[in-house]
């Protein structure tokens, strides 16, 4: 009898516990309408037209106001947005899109195919650096035969188009506001009208951008909050304090030293993503200036690669957030990333053997000395400079420390981005450097520029190494004309096998961005610029 009572009591207790735990769990999943979400951004965007710039500051602050023809899902694959369906014709030379019916601009005017045609022809192909550089010379025409059909005609098959149509790469802006004006000075850049989930309310320079729910958004029921505020907080540590103090709800990124503090705190949620409005799927890459006599010899570059312990970069600089690169193309572009490549492993003895073989001899303390190195006068000390953004100073310190152990002296030259770019790409005044090369959603956008010989200077963040290999050029050209993914994958694998042998660069670590938000909120999508389209917060 007593045992039965105990059993009943236990059952009752477990039922109560289940109810107590279960109710909040269900409530947590249930979207809540209303309220204000505060998002911290690092920089004043200046204007809010993402179609005329690739600036991360403008894109982070404005993409929620706009839409692209397509969006992207968590795996990076295209999903319907302003276009509800699409067809690929003539082996990838023609793309036909069917637009959604009934989409309206925030000012009530109807969105039509003419807006898409205008945006591409008059704005994106002239002012959006990535879209212009990747498809500008290949796009023959954009046609709008009726209000709901858009046709892209290319001069040759063009593979990556479907990965370039989200709001980050190709936001659609309103023709009726921009036609006949200079898109760079149009007042609508400061008072934007889009089709996106949030409408522009106000922009207080240096303080915040206020957005309100778009009640006529074409995705029924979305978005949930009444308002969204982009609060400008330049210091990442202060952003974290604002999150902890309840003054901000969502952060785009967390500073490395504070990662573990936020991740271990149950008041917050985090998510890792390779996406960033300023550039996705980035690899911290050491570039070698192949025009410099010391670095012309492939064995010296291989020796440098062997001397570097990339695991130390991951743990000491990124605090474990990211991964050691295993191929020249980011693993986030899984179909193009070549698995199983033999990148130079960390091996100091092998590095020393290679340097000795070239003629860089150890003569007492300090850097090695040239004795019979081709193109280098005897007696020259093995010393290279290393350029980096001030924010990447730790990469410089590790490179100097690790290369010093094999007798290579490294002189660090920190340069601001606005100075770094012309020094490296225009003046070519450097031996080595570190660059965060962002591969983008497709190798055609962010990888080709690093290796194709047509991409050598002066445009910034192109082929820093000045790498020339006709076979690699031909493979890239072939890949850009090939639409079938399997075939492209094979071509990119061949490219990666060649460049791993040539080592024009050394691929250090793949970086990721860690978003953080208060656990009161749910529904954030870290992998897209429309990150708060389905977000909501409990009060």
Partner 1 sequence: MAGLLVLNFCIIHLAPGDPAIALGGEHGDAAYYASLRSRFGLDRPLPEQLLTYVSNVLHGDLGTSFVHGRSVTRVIAERVPATLLLVGTALVLSSVAGVALGILAAGFRRRSVGVTLNVAALLGYATPLFWLGQIALLAPAVGTGLFPVQGMTDARHPQTGLAHLADVLHHLVLPAVVLAINELALTMRLVRTGLLEALGADYVRAARAKGLPEALVVRHALRNVMLPVLTVIGSRAGMFLSGAVLVEVVFAWPGLGRLLLSSLLSRDYPVLLGMFLIMSVGVVLANLITDLTYARLDPRIHYQ
Asked if residue 385 binds partner 1 (CB under 8 A), the reply is: no
Q: Which two tokens stand for residue 256?
A: 């490395």
Site string for partner 1, 117-146 (x = CB under 8 A): ------------xx-xx--x----------
Asked if residue 281 binds partner 1 (CB under 8 A), the reply is: no
Length of the chain: 539
Residue from the set 143, 247, 356, 478 that interacts with partner 1 by CB under 8 A: 247
Beta bridge partners, 70, equal 80
Provide the minimum distance between the beta carbon of 201 and partner 1 in the complex, in angstroms, as a whole number. Answer: 10
Q: Which two tokens stand for residue 439?
A: 């591969």
Asked if residue 50 binds partner 1 (CB under 8 A), the reply is: no
Kindly report whether the peptide bond that precedes residue 223 is cis, defined as omega within 30 degrees of 0: yes
Q: Which two tokens stand for residue 107?
A: 């000012």
Asked if residue 461 binds partner 1 (CB under 8 A), the reply is: yes
CB 382 within 8 A of CB 366: no
Asked if residue 218 binds partner 1 (CB under 8 A), the reply is: no
Residue 365: left (phi > 0), alpha (psi -120 to 50), or beta? beta
Asked if residue 88 binds partner 1 (CB under 8 A), the reply is: no
Asked if residue 453 binds partner 1 (CB under 8 A), the reply is: no
Would you say 58 or 489 has its CB closer to partner 1? Answer: 58
Would you say 97 or 517 has its CB closer to partner 1? Answer: 517
Closest CA to 103 of 136, 80, 126: 80
CA distances from 46 to 40, 49, 204, 335, 448 (A): 16, 9, 10, 37, 30
Would you say 51 or 82 has its CB closer to partner 1? Answer: 51
Asked if residue 54 binds partner 1 (CB under 8 A), the reply is: yes
Residues 396-435 that bind partner 1 (CB under 8 A): 415-419, 421-423
Residues 176-195 that bind partner 1 (CB under 8 A): 184-185, 189-190
Asked if residue 241 binds partner 1 (CB under 8 A), the reply is: yes
Asked if residue 53 binds partner 1 (CB under 8 A), the reply is: yes
Provide the minimum distance between the beta carbon of 529 and partner 1 in the complex, in angstroms, as a whole number. Answer: 15
Provide the minimum distance between the beta carbon of 56 and partner 1 in the complex, in angstroms, as a whole number. Answer: 8
Would you say 4 or 245 has its CB closer to partner 1? Answer: 245
Dist CA 183 CA 186 (whole Å): 5
Chain centre distance of CA 42: 16
Asked if residue 47 binds partner 1 (CB under 8 A), the reply is: yes
Cα 369–Cα 370–Cα 374 angle in degrees, nearest 5: 165
**Relative orientation angle of helices 393-404 and 298-307, to the nearest 10 degrees:** 100
Residue from the set 94, 248, 406, 465 that interacts with partner 1 by CB under 8 A: 248
Would you say 79 or 419 has its CB closer to partner 1? Answer: 419
Beta bridge partners, 288, equal 432
Q: Which two tokens stand for residue 220?
A: 């029924």
Q: Which two tokens stand for residue 342?
A: 């033999």
N-to-C CA span, the chain = 47
Asked if residue 242 binds partner 1 (CB under 8 A), the reply is: yes
Would you say 214 or 455 has its CB closer to partner 1? Answer: 455
**What are the φ/ψ torsions at residue 507 (nearest 5 degrees)?**
-90, 110
CB 41 within 8 A of CB 252: yes
Asked if residue 264 binds partner 1 (CB under 8 A), the reply is: no
Residue 493: left (phi > 0), alpha (psi -120 to 50), or beta? alpha
Provide the minimum distance between the beta carbon of 248 and partner 1 in the complex, in angstroms, as a whole number. Answer: 8
Asked if residue 34 binds partner 1 (CB under 8 A), the reply is: no
Asked if residue 212 binds partner 1 (CB under 8 A), the reply is: no
Dist CA 265 CA 244 (whole Å): 10
Residue from the set 245, 264, 470, 486 that interacts with partner 1 by CB under 8 A: 245
Provide the minimum distance between the beta carbon of 191 and partner 1 in the complex, in angstroms, as a whole number. Answer: 12
**What are the φ/ψ torsions at residue 88 (nearest 5 degrees)?**
-105, 125
CB 413 within 8 A of CB 400: no
Would you say 355 or 532 has its CB closer to partner 1? Answer: 532
Provide the minimum distance between the beta carbon of 213 and partner 1 in the complex, in angstroms, as a whole number. Answer: 15
**What are the φ/ψ torsions at residue 437 (nearest 5 degrees)?**
-85, 120
Asked if residue 520 binds partner 1 (CB under 8 A), the reply is: no
Contacting positions for partner 1 (CB under 8 A)? 36, 38, 43-44, 46-47, 53-56, 129-130, 132-133, 136, 184-185, 189-190, 204-208, 229, 231-235, 237-239, 241-242, 244-248, 278-279, 415-419, 421-423, 445-446, 449, 458-461
């Amino acid at each position: 009898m007593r045992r039965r009572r105990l059993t009943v009591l236990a059952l009752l207790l477990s039922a109560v516990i289940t109810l107590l735990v279960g109710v909040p769990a269900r409530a947590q999943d249930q979207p809540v309408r209303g309220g204000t979400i505060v998002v911290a951004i690092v920089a004043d965007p200046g204007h809010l037209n993402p179609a005329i710039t690739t600036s991360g500051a403008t894109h982070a602050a404005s993409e929620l106001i706009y839409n692209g023809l397509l969006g992207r899902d968590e795996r990076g694959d295209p999903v319907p947005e302003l276009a509800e369906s699409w067809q690929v014709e003539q082996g990838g030379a023609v793309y036909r899109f069917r637009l959604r019916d009934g989409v309206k601009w925030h000012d009530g005017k109807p969105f039509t195919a003419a807006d898409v045609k205008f945006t591409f022809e008059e704005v994106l192909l002239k002012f959006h650096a990535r879209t212009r550089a990747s498809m500008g010379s290949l796009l023959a025409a954009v046609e709008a035969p009726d209000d709901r059909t858009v046709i892209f005609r290319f001069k040759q098959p063009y593979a990556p188009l479907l990965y370039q149509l989200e709001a980050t790469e190709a936001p659609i802006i309103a023709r009726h506001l921009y036609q006949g004006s200079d898109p760079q000075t149009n007042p609508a850049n400061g008072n934007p009208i889009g089709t996106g989930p949030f409408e522009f309310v106000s922009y207080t320079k240096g303080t915040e951008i206020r957005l309100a729910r778009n009640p006529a958004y074409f995705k029924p029921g979305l978005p949930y909050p009444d308002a969204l505020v982009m609060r400008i907080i330049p210091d990442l540590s202060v952003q974290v304090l604002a999150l902890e103090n309840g003054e901000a709800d969502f952060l785009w990124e967390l500073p490395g030293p504070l990662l573990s503090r936020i991740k271990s705190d149950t008041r917050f949620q985090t998510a890792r993503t390779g996406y960033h409005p300023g550039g996705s799927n980035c690899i911290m890459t050491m570039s070698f200036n192949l025009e410099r006599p010391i670095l012309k010899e492939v064995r010296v570059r291989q020796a440098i690669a062997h001397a570097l312990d990339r695991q130390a970069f991951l743990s000491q600089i990124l605090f474990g957030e990211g991964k050691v690169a295993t191929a020249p193309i980011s693993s986030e572009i899984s179909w193009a990333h070549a698995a199983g490549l033999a990148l130079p492993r960390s091996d100091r003895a092998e590095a020393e053997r290679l340097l000795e073989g070239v003629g860089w001899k150890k003569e007492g303390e300090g850097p090695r000395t040239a004795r019979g190195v081709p193109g280098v006068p005897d007696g020259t000390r093995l010393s290279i400079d290393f350029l980096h953004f001030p924010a990447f100073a730790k990469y410089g310190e590790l490179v100097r420390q690790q290369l010093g152990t094999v007798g290579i002296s490294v002189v660090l030259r920190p340069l601001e981005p606005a100075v770094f770019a012309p020094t490296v790409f225009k003046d070519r005044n450097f031996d080595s450097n570190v660059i965060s090369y962002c591969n983008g959603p497709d190798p055609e956008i962010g990888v080709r520029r690093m290796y194709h010989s047509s991409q050598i200077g002066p445009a910034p963040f192109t082929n820093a190494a000045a790498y020339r290999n006709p076979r690699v050029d031909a493979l890239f050209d072939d890949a850009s004309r090939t639409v079938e993914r399997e075939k492209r994958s094979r071509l990119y694998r061949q490219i990666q096998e060649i460049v791993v042998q040539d080592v024009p660069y050394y691929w250090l670590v793949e970086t990721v961005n860690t978003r953080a938000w208060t656990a009161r909120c749910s529904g954030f999508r870290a992998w897209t610029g429309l990150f708060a389209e389905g977000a909501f917060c409990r009060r």
